[in-house]
A and B are shown apart, each in its own frame.
Chain A
Amino acid sequence: MDKLRSRIALGSAYIVLTLYALLSLYPFLWMISSALKSNQEVLASKSLIPSQLHFEIIVNTWDQLNFFKYFTNSVIITVFVVIGIVLVYSMAGFGFARTKFVGSNLLFISFLGLLFVPGVTVLVPLVQLLKALGLIGRDATLPQTYFGLIMPIINGAGPFSIFLFRNYFASLPSELHDAARVDGASNWGVFFRIFLPLATPIIATVGILNVIGTWNAYIWPSIVLNNPDWYTLPLKLKDLDLQIVIQWNVRMAASLIMITPVIVVFLFLQRYYIRGLTAGAIRG
């Protein structure tokens, strides 16, 4: 009786999982299948399997929209954002968790308080600041504009990243620190040689969170980037919206090209990501 009951429970667990997995996957399957169909077929047939495979649509979309250029722009911005965030906030997290200085608690709390300031609040002031610094506008160069784009994104990721890094470093055994100090290592040595290498799960977590956020960001880049040559992928994709006749297959192909890199990064790092995320959030 009990065995039967537990079998039913397990069976229903798999049914629930399979149903939801399909639900979460379906839009992506639809995206892939539509990217391989002709536009008429996308509209006419709701079948997932294309009657004829049009691989050329993906290739053409990549070429015609000059995707490589915007792809590169997106990669550059995302890489700088993620490196900046990991470097600046792993140090800060270590500083809060493992060193003492006057006012450290107050400073930590004021960082956390920033979580409640809506992002939209500072959009207008940020634009004015970047203008005043000459980082955006007609005379600004590409590096200047990208710098102006990147720094506020890094700052915006600050509170949550510091929170995750601090919790993680605080959870590591203090013997690590003491032993290294006895051996005469400075705080910097301890951080770079011992703590940072141990922080892979949390680096992966913070990294993925911000790869996803930056790669998909639309509103902030659309405000800062006024030269179409400097656009990121999402901005280029939004341009498709302006076409008079919507070509759904091109849209889907473009979306597919856009999400693939993030999915690949995610698949490689998901194990670390989950570990880091749950360690940081549950313990906090």
Chain B
Amino acid sequence: MAQASTQAAYRPMSGRKRKSFRQHLQDNAGILFVLPAVITFLVFGLYTVIYSVILSFFRWNGFGKFSILPFACAPPACQFAGLDNFAYFLYQEPTMSGFFWQALQHNLIMAVFVTAGTVLVALPIAIALNRAAKGQTIYRVLIMLPMVTAGIAVFYVWSFIYEPDGLLNSVLESVGLGFAAAKQGWLGQPDRALTSLMIVMIWSSVPMAVILYLAGLQTIEKDLYEAAVIDGASAWQQLWNITWPLLLPVTVVIVITSINGVLQGYEMVYLMTYGGPAGHTEVVGLQIFKYGFGDQRQLGMASAMSWALFVLVFIVALVNLRIFRSRTEV
């Protein structure tokens, strides 16, 4: 208290005097804590982002020379293209833009169904987990396992499940649903591949959502439900009028991270189908990757497309925040 008042007393006088360099350093010493992160960010983050923005206005096949520090772009391997890259994949080049819009469509389908699926599966499980006092830890650990093992191991297990003579088909046949089996494998059939991928995605994203919902449920006061029961509210009404609205902030977090992840992600598609069969599971991220590292490299195109993806991801996140914020504040 005393210290604060003396400071307030002499601040007007010293405020007019210029602070010494030393004083400046001392006041901002906290920046030293942030410095390693900032340096890493400048070199591996900001530099690459700027590089990518500039590259999106050039046509470059990866050979020859292109650099931004110092600037160099040697024809014929590298040429200034203006907005051509963007125009090509957005509308000008029929095959290219066809692939792009198809991939984007898959991204959007995944964003909707994977996100909805995650929420619809995770919420009941979290509610059940919250009720189950006995054995909660063991159930929680079991349910969380899929999030620990993303990547290639998951790809192998699921690809066996989805094989033509794999687990899923045999199970279907053994329960008399053989007509529903996928003869060319679940990932091999154009009409089923996307759905099959989305199931794996939901399977691996449910655990995180369960944890977040469980944490949210544990903050809801029990009195609310007791009061509701006295008023004669059914279980369904309790869910709809108490649980769901109070969990809305958690749902926002889940929905935004899920959509963000689905729109940006491509590793699972890369490992499980590489966009096949015949482009039926192609997503924008994978297409960008193919332009960047595939057989026919068009690095400027890869950059241009990835900035289109960034704009989409950003707008969707903003829209989500808007919608949910207005809902939660009312």
Contacts and interface: CB of A to CB of B under 8 A. Distances in A.
B120 interface: no
B80 interface: no
A91 B148 contact: no
Interface in B102-136: 121, 124-125, 127-129, 131-132
B44 A152 contact: yes
A207 interface: no
Given A132-B67, A216-B153, A237-B152, A122 B211 contact: no
Contacts of B140: 270, 274
Contacts of B153: 31, 216, 237, 255-256, 258-259
B212 A123 contact: no
B317 interface: yes
B308 to A, nearest CB: 10
Interface stretch (A17-25, A50-58, A75-83, A137-145): A17-25
Contacts of B150: 212-213, 216
Contacts of A124: 52, 55, 292-293, 299, 302-303
A281 B157 CA distance: 31
A104 B48 CA distance: 22
Contacts of A191: 33
Interface in A113-145: 114-126, 128-129, 132
Contacts of A88: 36-37, 40
A89 to B, nearest CB: 6
A27 B157 contact: yes
Interface hub of A27, A89, A217 (most chain B Cβ within 10 A): A27
Contacts of A132: 67
A185 interface: no
Interface string B39-83: 011011101110110010000000000110000000000000000
Nearest to B287: A120
Interface in A213-265: 213, 216-219, 223, 234, 237-238, 248, 251-252, 255-256, 258-259, 262-263
A234 B155 CA distance: 11
Contacts of B214: 278
Given A124-B299, A248-B160, A118 B264 contact: yes
A13 B132 contact: yes
A217 B143 CA distance: 22
A17 B125 contact: yes
Contact of A187 (B29, B146, B235): B29
Interface string B14-30: 00000000000001111
A9 B239 CA distance: 13
Given A10-B131, A102-B28, A158 B125 contact: no
Given A123-B289, A129-B47, A251-B156, A9 B235 contact: yes
Interface string A74-118: 000000000000011101101110111110100100010011111
A132 B260 CA distance: 32
Contacts of B51: 122, 125, 128-129
Contacts of A104: 30-31, 34
B248 interface: no
Given A25-B142, A212-B147, A218 B170 contact: no
Contacts of B4: none
B148 A212 contact: yes
Nearest to B144: A270
Contacts of A248: 160
Nearest to B170: A46
A282 B131 contact: no
Contacts of B313: 116, 118
Interface string B235-262: 1000000000000011001000000100
A179 interface: no
A99 B282 CA distance: 46
A155 interface: yes
B139 interface: yes
B148 A187 contact: no
8 tightest Cβ-Cβ pairs between the two chains A and B: A99-B30, A95-B33, A216-B151, A278-B215, A125-B48, A13-B128, A92-B37, A125-B51
16 contacts: A16-B128, A27-B157, A27-B161, A91-B33, A94-B33, A95-B33, A107-B34, A116-B317, A120-B288, A121-B309, A155-B40, A155-B44, A187-B30, A191-B33, A259-B149, A263-B145
Interface of A: 9-10, 12-14, 16-17, 20-21, 23-25, 27-28, 30-31, 34, 43, 46, 87-89, 91-92, 94-96, 98-102, 104, 107, 111, 114-126, 128-129, 132, 151-152, 154-155, 158, 162, 187, 191, 212-213, 216-219, 223, 234, 237-238, 248, 251-252, 255-256, 258-259, 262-263, 266-267, 270, 274, 277-278, 281-282
Given A151-B40, A158-B40, A278-B214, 17 more contacts: A14-B132, A16-B125, A24-B142, A24-B145, A31-B153, A91-B36, A115-B260, A116-B260, A116-B313, A121-B303, A124-B293, A125-B55, A158-B45, A223-B293, A252-B156, A274-B140, A278-B211
